[in-house]
Amino acid sequence: MPRLLLRLLLVACLAANAAIAFAGPGDPGTPAADFALQEFPAGPIHTLSQHHGEVVLLFMVGYG
């Protein structure tokens, strides 16, 4: 019985590592897609690529 539990634990760990190794778009650690936002009402345009290597916090509020 203990060997079976160890084998199941090993398989679970290997599966978790495989999921991390094959991260896709939108997964933690992958670069975000570049996009642009314009300040309201007619201000400058800011792109995400302008802040490459920096930590960026996006706070978006939607009404509707």
**pTM of this prediction exceeds 0.75:** no
pLDDT of residue 37: 83
pLDDT over 60 (residue 4): yes
pLDDT of residue 18: 55
37: helix, strand or coil: strand
Residue pLDDT, tens place only, 7-64? 777 777 666 665 555 656 667 777 778 888 888 888 898 888 888 888 888 787 887 6
C-alpha pair distances (Å), 8 with each of 5, 16, 17, 29, 57? 5, 12, 14, 28, 40
- Long-range Cβ pairs for the range 12-15 (8 Å, 24+): none
pLDDT of residue 46: 86
Q: How far is CA 22 from the centre of its chain?
A: 13
